[in-house]
Amino acid sequence: MTTFILRRVYQSVFVMLGVSLVAFLLVHLSGDPIKLMLPFDASPEQIAQTRTYWGLDDPLPFQYARFLGRVAQGDLGSSMKHSQPVAKLIGERLRATTELAVLAMAFALLVAIPVGVFSAVRPYSLWDNLATVLALTGRSMPVFWLGLLLILVFAVQLGWVPPSGRGDWKQLVLPSITLGTAAMATLTRLTRSSLLDELGQDYLRTARAKGLAERAVVYAHGLRNAWVPIVTVAGLQFAALLGGALVTESVFAWPGLGLLTVRAIYDRDLPLIQGATLFFASVFVLMNLLVDILYAYLDPRIRHG
């Protein structure tokens, strides 16, 4: 097991290096941030001095090496727009994004697991067909459209919850449902298909033949063995919720990392864009690593292979 974990960690390091290189090159290919920061009538001397101050006059390989050196020391640089350390800005917004992602994932699991199990127990029934339509609808709806629709119905028309902002627990309801709907739809279909495959196995027929109650057959045996793909996808979905909340946070004016990143893109704040991209990539790599380790514990054949 130790060899398996070390091999995954070793691979994750190279993945992070590749992500940092791609993020660095794409950010620098997007345009000159100095011209956006300075007034339109700035002199060439002012432009040159500002570019030298931020280290943008050096060749790209030197800039990338300097960037990696700072990252290795835990320094993501300073924001051009906010004049604050990027790590501090990310830390201030991380709590808001984590709150939203955790509640969105909780909503997805609380809906997906019971609905998926019920659909697998009664396949091709009216309930199963209805659950399939709802899951496909939830997966197909654009996030921004769903968010605006929820605001229009529950905030504007009914007045049950605030339309945007962060502070009261009611302000978490609409963005968490919006963010978790796609994950809920994916996990519902995966739970159904995984459990349906297990319910047709010979060992469950044997359990029924021995007189075991159907509830015990489904939950104690079938669902237990169906957890492996569900846990895998749920872990990756949670990482996607942490890194993919840009649209949701923009719609609901939620002061998280997504909204901070969108504004950094508009401002061409290179250090902040690089830091946010590297952070999101780190979340995906870390969650992927944790899922691989958990996968190996749930299915010993993985680590032995």
Number of Cβ atoms within 10 Å of the Cβ of 92? 14
Distance, CA of 294 to CA of 290 (rounded, Å): 6
Q: Is residue 105 a contact partner of residue 183, using CB atoms and an 8 Å limit?
A: yes
Distances (CA, A) of 196 to 18, 48, 105, 122: 39, 65, 23, 9
Can you tell me which residue has the tokens 């995906």? 284
Q: What is the pLDDT of residue 233?
A: 85
Q: What is the pLDDT of residue 302?
A: 58
Can you tell me which residue has the tokens 């001095």? 49
Q: What is the pLDDT of residue 1?
A: 65
- Cα angle 160, 135, 162 (rounded to 5 degrees) comes to 15
Give 6-34 pLDDT, tens digit per residue.
Answer: 787 778 888 888 888 887 787 777 666 67
Q: What is the pLDDT of residue 110?
A: 92
Consecutive 10-residue averages of pLDDT for the chain (305 residues): 75 82 76 70 78 77 83 80 85 86 91 88 86 86 88 89 81 89 90 83 78 75 78 84 78 84 81 84 82 72 54
Q: What is the pLDDT of residue 107?
A: 92
Tokens matching residue 114: 């019971």
Give 104-149 pLDDT, tens digit per residue.
Answer: 999 999 999 899 888 888 888 888 888 888 888 888 888 888 889 9
Which pTM value belongs to this model? 0.78
CATH topology of domain 86-304: MetI-like fold (1.10.3720)
